[in-house]
Amino acid sequence: MMGYYLLIGLIILVSWYVSHTLKSKFRKYSKTHLQNGMSGAEIARKMLEDNGIYDVKVISTPGQLTDHYNPQKKTVNLSEAVYSQRNAAAAAVAAHECGHAVQHAKAYSWLKMRSALVPVVSVASRFSQFVIMGGIILMATVSFGVGQMVLLAGIILFGMGTLFSFITLPVEYDASNRALAWLKAENIVTPQEYEGSKDALKWAARTYVVAAVGSLATLLYFIGIFLGSRD
């Protein structure tokens, strides 16, 4: 178990670094005020309109970095700062979330796949760790065979979450690419503002990369335990 704790510690450390850098980047580019004077909400509405999307609402949601697109309610939810502020960071986030709305409107295959997995993954991720730990404990104390089966079930559940995290990567990168392409093509931002928006989205995407790699590393560790128990 020591190896597991060391692995988790390393993942947490890398995740903290990326998260800390992301927040630092957003603070930096929040000081780069847009020359066009548009707010995040105005940018979001314009991007939706430019893509022929009129049934998606842009609303403000409490918190920081709580921005997301809700495909069920068809809302682009922007955190209070992004919704009202007029800077490169707000422009990047607003356009990125609208990128998801464009994906939805165009039936982007990776987004459809991720959405289909949400109900299953929400349950799997909630119980997988408990099932895995239960299997390991059973193997060591009560019944080795039963413990193996429980451990395997937990690994399968955890694997669903890992799969989901990797499917999320093309969805997030594509949304950022759509956002940046639109910001540049429509001259929403100046070259300097564009570079700030691009850098902010790059670090935002890295949080998903770290999550996916961390999930895969943990999955492989548990698989190693299972295979080792069969020797």
Residue count (the chain) = 231
Active site residue 97: yes
Q: What DSSP character marks residue 61?
A: E
What is the number of other CB atoms lying within 10 angstroms of the CB of residue 42? 20
Task: Name the catalytic one among 97, 172, 193, 195.
Answer: 97
The whole-angstrom separation of Cα 51 and Cα 29 is 26
The whole-angstrom separation of Cα 31 and Cα 46 is 22
Beta strands in the chain (DSSP E): 57-61, 68-70, 75-79
> What are residue 131's phi and psi, to 5 degrees?
-65, -45
Q: Is 68 helix (H, G, I), strand (E, B) or coil?
A: strand
The whole-angstrom separation of Cα 99 and Cα 1 is 42
∠ CA(49), CA(178), CA(182), 5° rounding? 55
Active site residues: 97
